[in-house]
Amino acid sequence: MATQTRMPVAAGEAAAVVDRIRVSVPDRGIRHDVRAVGIVWRRELIRFRTDRLRAITSLVQPFLFLFILGTGLSTLAGGGLPHTGSFDFKTFIYPGVLAMSVLFTAIFSAGSIVWDREFGFLREILVAPVSRAAIVIGKCLGGTTIATFQGVIFLCLAWFAHVPYNPALLLSLIGLLLLLSFTLTAFGVMMAARIKQFQAFMALTQMLVLPLFFLSGALYPLTGLPAWLTVLTRLDPLTYIVGPMRHLVFSYLHVPPQVAGLISTHLAPSITWAGWVVPIWLSLGIVAAMGLVMTAVAIAEFSKTE
C-alpha cells in the first residue's frame, strides 16, 4: 500500500535535504497576506468547480421566475404591459431576476464559513499566522467571483427576454453584478462570523433573502405604491442596484419614442427619496459602501474570536 512509496525517494532525498533548509517561513508582510487572499479565493473556486450540482440548482430559481412567472404574468397583462401596448413582462423583470441569480450563490458561498466551522476546517484557517483581513477579503472575493459567474450564465439567456447582446450593455451589467455579488457576499460573511450552526444560517438567510428580493422592485415598478411599501422599498439595499440595472437594460432596448417615454415614467422610474431623485452614482455608492462596511464588520468579528 502507501508505505512502499516512502522508500523510492532516494533520488529526491538529496534535493529534499536542500529544500528542507530553504523552508523558513518569513515574517508577516503584505506579500504573505496577498498570497493568503489568493489561496482563500482559489479554494472557493475549486469548491465551486467540483460542486456542479450547486451551480445548476442555484440557476433553477431565476429560471422559474423568468420563464414561468414571467410568461404567466405576461398573459395577465394581455400580451403586453399596461401603458406600453406590447412590452413583454419578461423584459421588465429580467434585470431583477438577473440580480436574483447572484443572490443565493453569493450568500451561500459565505455560508461555507459556518460549514467550515462545524467541520473543523475554519480552525486550520484561523490558527495560521495571517491577518484576519486577508481571510475575510479572500472569502468575499471568492464569493464575488462565483456569484458573478452565475450571473454571467444567466446573462446568456438575455435573448429570451428580448434584451439585445450589446457588448457595452453586457460589460456594464457584469460590472454591476460584480458590485452586487461583493456586497451580498460581505453580508453573508458578516452573518457567518456570528452564526455557529449551518442550519441556523440557512434558515436566517432564507428568511432575509426573499423579502430583500420582493422589496427591491425586481418584479414590479416602484411607482404608485402605497406609502408604507414605498418606504420599505427605499430601505432595501437591493433596490439601489436593481434600479440602475433596469435603467441600463431599458436604455439599450429598441422601442418607439412614445413607449420610451412611458418606460421612464412608469416602468423604470428613478429612485426617489421624498421626491428627490437619487443619482445613479449615489445609488451604486450606497451599495459599495454597504459592502465595504460589512466587510469591515466581518474582519472585526473574526479578529475578536482569535
Partner 1 sequence: MAAQTGPAQADTVQTRAGPEAKQFGADAGPETVITVSGLAKRYGDIEAVRGIDFTVARGETFGFLGPNGAGKSTTIKILCTLANATAGTAIVAGHNAATERDAVRRNIGLVFQDTTLDTYLTAEQNLRFHAELYGVPKAAVMPRMRQVMDMVGLWDRKDSLVSTYSGGMQRRLEIARGLLHAPHVLFLDEPTVGLDPQTRSSIWAYINDLKSREDITIFLTTHYMDEAEHCDRIAIIDHGKIVAIDTPEALKASVGKDRVQIHTADDQRAIAELGTTFGIEAAVHDGAVTFSVAAGEQFVPRLFTEFSIPIRSVSVSRPSLDDVFMSYTGTTIRDAEGGAGNEFMRNIHKLRSGRR
Question: Rule CB under 8 A: is residue 13 a binding residue for partner 1?
Answer: yes
CB within 8 A of 254, min separation 6: which ones?
Answer: 164
Question: Rule CB under 8 A: is residue 28 a binding residue for partner 1?
Answer: yes
Question: Rule CB under 8 A: is residue 52 a binding residue for partner 1?
Answer: no
Give the whole-angstrom CA distance, residue 303 versus residue 93.
41
Hey, which residues between 164 and 203 contact partner 1 (CB under 8 A)? none
Question: Rule CB under 8 A: is residue 53 a binding residue for partner 1?
Answer: no
Question: Rule CB under 8 A: is residue 1 a binding residue for partner 1?
Answer: yes
Give the whole-angstrom CA distance, residue 191 versus residue 185.
10
Stretch that binds partner 1, among 6-14, 55-63, 186-194, 285-293 (CB under 8 A): 6-14
* End-to-end alpha carbon distance in the chain: 40
Question: Rule CB under 8 A: is residue 141 a binding residue for partner 1?
Answer: no
The type of residue at 53 is: L
12 vs 79 by CB, closer to partner 1: 12
Supply the minimum distance, in Å, between the C-beta of residue 100 and partner 1. 26
Question: Rule CB under 8 A: is residue 12 a binding residue for partner 1?
Answer: yes
**C-alpha distances in angstroms, 245 versus 15, 78, 99, 150, 265?**
57, 26, 9, 16, 16
114 vs 294 by CB, closer to partner 1: 114
Q: Which of 11, 18, 168, 235 binds partner 1 (CB under 8 A)?
A: 18
CB within 8 A of 1, min separation 6: which ones?
Answer: none
Question: Rule CB under 8 A: is residue 51 a binding residue for partner 1?
Answer: yes
**By the 8 A CB rule, do 124 and 139 touch?**
no
The type of residue at 93 is: I
120 vs 275 by CB, closer to partner 1: 120
Q: Which of 11, 14, 168, 274 binds partner 1 (CB under 8 A)?
A: 14
Nearest 5°: the CA angle 73, 77, 81 is: 105
CA dihedral for 221, 225, 227, 232, sign (positive or negative): negative
Stretch that binds partner 1, among 15-23, 79-87, 203-211, 252-260 (CB under 8 A): 15-23
Stretch that binds partner 1, among 57-65, 124-132, 189-197, 251-259 (CB under 8 A): 124-132
Residue where the block lists cell 439585445: 164
Instruction: Give the β-pairing of 276-277 and 272-273.
Output: antiparallel
Question: Rule CB under 8 A: is residue 30 a binding residue for partner 1?
Answer: no
Q: Which of 72, 78, 79, 129 binds partner 1 (CB under 8 A)?
A: 129
Q: At what angle do helices 89-119 and 132-155 cross, to 10 degrees?
A: 150
- Give the interface with partner 1 as residue ranges (CB under 8 A): 1-6, 9, 12-28, 31-32, 35-36, 38-39, 43, 46-47, 50-51, 116, 119-121, 123-125, 127-130, 306
